[in-house]
Structure 1
Amino acid sequence: MLISPTQIEQKAPANRTQNNNMTAKHSLYIQIIILALISTLISGCSVRLQNYKEIVTELFNTPEDVTLSQQEIEEFPYAGSYIQVDERPRAFMALAFDDNGVLKWRTGGEEIIHTKHGRITATNNMSGAIAHTSNLKNDPLACFREAIRRNNQDLTNCPTTWQRDIWVTTATPNKIEDQAYTYTSEFRVGATEQVNLANGTSHQVIKIEERIGTSDNNVATNTFYISTDNARIVKSHQLIAPPSSSQSSSESTFATIEEVKPYTLEEVKNNG
């Protein structure tokens, strides 16, 4: 089970008035956030980082789905994505920095999610979530994206299997437990289809399904949607926290990620 240090209890609105107040409060938050972000561009780096953390925390720790307007998206000075973990409200995460192709996203509080080629490869300060992934250089997603980037819709030359180890760190008040898993994935390339994102955009994509398993059983199925125009992974539904081997009732935790404001430098730097 995924446990976030800043996770808060979610309560349904008691009435229509309370719900309207929450919506107005959220709208005000976003307006303040955009003004603060613009002002930080003129300030020093330390001030920028401090405000950045506060800004994204406001957008992540919300009891209702976050939805940015088109104007808010255009004025937001960072790349950003929506993320929804299982049935929790949809939140917003902003790109903190690009570490040689590993994109690190601030989600709120101290949590950071690392992605490469659209895949969650590691997290920081998220107990029970993936902490490290090995053998990333052989991830077939890289080959699929490169083929599409070169305007080659025939992905049959890309590998369809991949093995790697992942590490998970689980923290409780009494102990910290590290677990390692060896996963083997099988990939299936689907047909071209259209996806409509919550930010109002539509994309022609190639759907990639990835079945993840161990030597004993199937663990999960990831789905990635790669744009045929720019090879960005504009949407995914993927494993963020595997079931704990020490808890028989534990289940996998999934994250759905959608592009809100793209990281356009990715196309220039040819990384992900």
Structure 2
Amino acid sequence: MRYIPLLFLCLFLQGCTQTQKGLTETVKLALLGPDDVQVSDEQVQSLPYASMYLRLNQGQRIFVVLGFDENGQQKWVTRDRSMLVTQHGRLVKTAGLSDNLSEVTNLEQDPLADALHLTEGASWTRTLSWSEAGKFRAGTAVSRFNRQPDEILTLAGNRVACRVWQEEVTLPVSGKSWTNTFWIDTTTGQVRQAQQSLGGDKFFIETTILKPAKS
């Protein structure tokens, strides 16, 4: 496993202000190479920025710092300038990947918006637009939530008690289905870890929030 030296991080972070910089100047960190990135707990805690581990489609795990937090959405930008947008921990848009999620509707009704009050069997319907192998896809997705055994995650040296919810997603017209999983902080209601699909049953994205954005 590789550790990113603090000096390496500082070279990227020097002079940046999270609330003032736009996406074109966003802070972004990742370490190239065949191994997963491992950042020390001390380095995560010392940075004044929200951060997470990100894994795209079972590839190398990278370390990403939040570039912009606006209107309830967090925009994360990788070193190769791909962008992921999350809202209440849910992936709602991507750009710069081989395939991308372009839109999720009805977000105001997303059960994750009030995750501490999620109930067994809660459902949600929305329209998704995404690409598969470069081809545009769209469909109405129906979700149903099922609670799993609670877990305790160790994140940047902190033990975080989490409720684990699985979201069974189906596209009735095409017959496609897949499962998203969310680890929700029992104290704050924030999604601290997630495994999600772009929009179909392919291209999975894993996120682990090491240091959440300040609310």
Q: Which residue of 1 aligns with 2:205?
A: 255
AA in 2 matched with 1:75: S
2:7 equivalent to 1:32: yes
Of residues 65, 74, 84 in structure 2, which corresponds to 1:103?
A: 74
2:125 equivalent to 1:163: yes
Cα displacement (A) at 1:37: 4.3
SS at match of 2:37: coil
Stretches of structure 2 that go unaligned for 5 or more consecutive residues are: none
AA in 2 matched with 1:70: D
Of residues 204, 229, 240 in structure 1, which corresponds to 2:161?
A: 204
Q: Which residue of 2 aligns with 1:79?
A: 50
Taking a change above 3 Å as real, the CA distance of residues 222 and 32 of structure 1, as seen in their structure-2 partners, is same
Taking a change above 3 Å as real, the CA distance of residues 159 and 92 of structure 1, as seen in their structure-2 partners, is same
SS at match of 1:180: strand
Identity, in percent, stands at: 25
1:80/1:259 contact within 8 Å kept: yes
1:114-193 pair list within 5 angstroms:
114-145=85-116, 147=117, 155-156=118-119, 160-169=122-131, 177-191=135-149, 193=150
2:51/2:65 contact within 8 Å kept: yes
1:140/1:159 contact within 8 Å kept: no
- Cα deviation digits, residues 147-185 of structure 1 (max 9, x gap): 3xxxxxxx44x871111111114576xxxx422122111
Taking a change above 3 Å as real, the CA distance of residues 113 and 96 of structure 1, as seen in their structure-2 partners, is same
Q: Distance in 2 between matches of 1:138 and 1:159?
A: 15
Q: Distance in 1 between matches of 2:127 and 2:31?
A: 29
Q: How many residues align?
A: 212
Q: Distance in 1 between matches of 2:199 and 2:7?
A: 33
- Cα deviation digits, residues 125-149 of structure 1 (max 9, x gap): 223221211111111111324x3xx
Q: Distance in 2 between matches of 1:236 and 1:112?
A: 17
RMSD across aligned positions (CA): 2.7
SS at match of 2:140: strand
TM-score by length of 2: 0.85
- Cα deviation digits, residues 32-68 of structure 1 (max 9, x gap): 33322453148xx77x965834xx2xx1543211111
SS at match of 1:98: strand
Considering fraction of residues, name the structure with more strand: 2
Taking a change above 3 Å as real, the CA distance of residues 138 and 73 of structure 1, as seen in their structure-2 partners, is same
Taking a change above 3 Å as real, the CA distance of residues 186 and 256 of structure 1, as seen in their structure-2 partners, is same
SS at match of 1:256: strand
SS at match of 2:78: strand
Runs (4 or more) in structure 1 with deviation over 6 Å come to: none
